[in-house]
Structures are given as structure tokens and as C-alpha cells.
Homo-oligomer: A and B are copies of this chain.
Amino acid sequence: MIVSTRVRVRYKDTDCMQVVYYGNYLTYFEVGRVEFLRQQGLPMSDVDQKVHLPVVEAVVRYVRPARLDDLLEVRCWVSERKRASFRFAYEIVSEDGETVATGATLHACLDPATSKMIAMPPWLRELMPVVQSEPKPSV
């Protein structure tokens, strides 16, 4: 269960160093995990009704800069699952197959009404099988 999504680098995403601004990889990760959930039959609007999944921790490792108009592939999978939290891992790959960035986001499960931590709901757990090993060693 590794879901791939394509993202085209916009002017908006770049900065005056002529590469993608470092914070924008977290936006690409967002696109990757939203498409992961959609492919599992879970559009974000539905998910948000049932459970909040705020990011508790995010890590990005920058390997090669991406540039304007690059067509990036965002690979997203579940790398870890605990009782009340889970981790998405990401790898962003260029069109010529080189790793651009890797990273991870740790998510908590919250009750949308009370904002209290809850155990990961079974229907969500089921749709999020853990992929044991990363496709490549990260940097």
C-alpha cells in the first residue's frame, strides 16, 4: 500500500534561490496523504467529520532541490501504527527517478467533538496497513 500522486511545481512553490521553498514539501506531503486516504475510499471531508488527525510531528530530509515545472511523484505509505497515533512516510521522486526529499508525519487521533485523544478507530486502522520497510534507505 504505497500511493503515488503527481504534483507539478508551481512558481508559487519556488523561492528566490530558484528551487522549491523548504516549507512547501510539507504541502506536497499533504497532497500525498490526502490522495492516500482518497484511494482508500476516504475523502478528507468525510474523515474530518469522524476523526481529527492533526500532525504532531513532521520531518523532512532534503536530498536534491526540485525546480519550477518539475513533475514530482509523491509516494505515501503508513510506516507505523500505535494505539492512538500513526505515522505516514513520504518519498518525493523526480521524473528521472531520483529522490528529491523524504520525510514523515506523526498523527494523533482526536475526537472531533471534544478534541480529546482517542484510540485509532477500527475502520481507519483497517484502511491503513503498515508498510514495514521503506522503499529506499532514507538519507
Q: Which residues of A contact B (CB under 8 A)?
A: 8, 10-12, 14-19, 21-24, 26-27, 30-31, 34, 43-45, 48, 52, 54-62, 65, 67-69, 105, 139
Q: How many copies are assembled? A: 4
Instruction: From the candidates B19, B22, B26, B69, name the one contacting A43 in the complex (CB within 8 A).
Output: B69
Contact A30 B10 (CB under 8 A): yes
Contact B18 A18 (CB under 8 A): yes
Q: Smallest CB–CB gap between A42 and chain B, Å? A: 11
List B contacts of A60 (CB < 8 A).
Answer: 57-58
Q: Smallest CB–CB gap between A52 and chain B, Å? A: 8
With A17-B11, A60-B58 already in contact, the answer to whether A26 and B26 are too (CB < 8 A) is yes
The 3 closest A-B pairs by CB, nearest first: A23-B26, A14-B16, A16-B18
A136 to B10, CA, bound (A): 28
List B contacts of A15 (CB < 8 A).
Answer: 11-12, 14-16
Contact A44 B69 (CB under 8 A): yes
